Structure 1
């Protein structure tokens, strides 16, 4: 009676292509999120100055 012949997974080291793919993917996602954050700030600034130019808001405190 022989025991079961089970093959164990052996570690072959890092896969260079997989590492490059993951690195590029993560950097593109992080860059997109950072750019989206800046677009949001830019949109708020344009909206603020648009309202200021139309006279709908003011930055001067009114005295009572």
Structure 2
């Protein structure tokens, strides 16, 4: 082998393409986190509204005399 061939081979050996490792995208992680937070918050709010509705219905019925919290004898 000539000197030029050896230099080409040694230079080419150092230029083997390696797969690049990509880390997580910060913007993508923030967007995903915000979306999951909004979905979870929406479910929590719906649950809260449902519980409020039940409590209001209970007190409305109690006020109208339809139900009582005192046990009948």
Give TM class, smaller chain.
Answer: 0.7 to 0.9
- RCO (CA 8 Å, sep 6+): is it higher in 1 or 2? 1
Matches within 5 A, 1:1-64: 10-63=20-73
Gaps of 5+ in 1: 1-8
- For this pair of structures, how many residues does the alignment match? 56
RMSD: 1.6
**Deviation of 1:11 (Å):** 3.1
Gaps of 5+ in 2: 1-18
TM-score by length of 1: 0.77
TM-score by length of 2: 0.68
SS in 1 for 2:34: helix
Return the index of the structure with the highest Cα Rg. Answer: 2
Between structures 1 and 2, the one with greater helix share: 2
